[in-house]
Amino acid sequence: MTPPTLTTERLTLRLPDMQDWPAYRAFYASDATRFTGGPYEPKQAWSLFAADRGHWDLKGFGWFMLDDGSGAVGACGLHHPPHQAEIEIGWNTFPAAQGKGYATEAASAALDWGWTVTDAPRIVSYIDRDNGASKAVAKKLGASWTGEMATHDADCEIWIHERPA
Amino acid sequence: MTSIPTLKTERLILRALQFDDFGPYADFSASDASVFVSGPMDMRSAWRHFTSLIGHWPVRGYGWWAVDDGSGIVGTCGIHYPPSHLEPELGWVLFLQARGKGFATEAAKAARDWWYARGETRLSSNIAFDNSPSIAVARRLGATTDGVPLAHNRDCSAWLHPGPEGTL
Question: Is the Cβ of A140 closer than 8 Å to some Cβ of chain B?
Answer: no
SS3 B144: strand
From CA B53, how far away is CA B63, in angstroms rounded? Answer: 7
The residue in chain A having the minimum alpha-carbon distance to the alpha carbon of residue B63 is: A50
Q: What is the pLDDT of residues A22-67, one digit of tens each?
A: 999 999 999 999 988 899 999 999 999 999 999 999 999 999 999 9
From CA A92, how far away is CA A104, in angstroms rounded? Answer: 10
Which value does ipTM take for this structure? 0.91
The reported pTM is 0.93
From CA B114, how far away is CA B103, in angstroms rounded? Answer: 17
- Collect all residues with Cβ–Cβ distance below 8 Å to B29 and sequence separation of at least 6: B37, B39, B40, B41, B45, B46, B49
Burial of B15 (0-12, 13-18, 19+ CB in 10 A): middle
Question: Is the Cβ of A151 closer than 8 Å to some Cβ of chain B?
Answer: no
> Given pLDDT bands bounded at 50, 70 and 90, which one contains residue B152?
confident
Mean pLDDT of chain A: 95
How much is the pLDDT for A48? Answer: 96
Q: Do B1 and A25 touch (CB under 8 A)?
A: no
How much is the pLDDT for B1? Answer: 57
> Given pLDDT bands bounded at 50, 70 and 90, which one contains residue B33?
confident
Q: How far is A68 from chain B (nearest CA, A)?
A: 21
How much is the pLDDT for A2? Answer: 73
From CA B9, how far away is CA B7, in angstroms rounded? Answer: 7
Over range B61-73, report the average pLDDT.
98
Over range A77-104, report the average pLDDT.
96
Residues of B in contact with A49 (CB under 8 A): 52, 55, 59
Is B168's pLDDT higher than 60? no
Over range A94-110, report the average pLDDT.
96
Over range A85-102, report the average pLDDT.
96
Residues of B in contact with A18 (CB under 8 A): 59-60
In 10 A of CB B127, how many CB atoms? 24
Question: Is the Cβ of A165 closer than 8 Å to some Cβ of chain B?
Answer: no
Q: What percent of chain A has pLDDT over 70?
A: 99
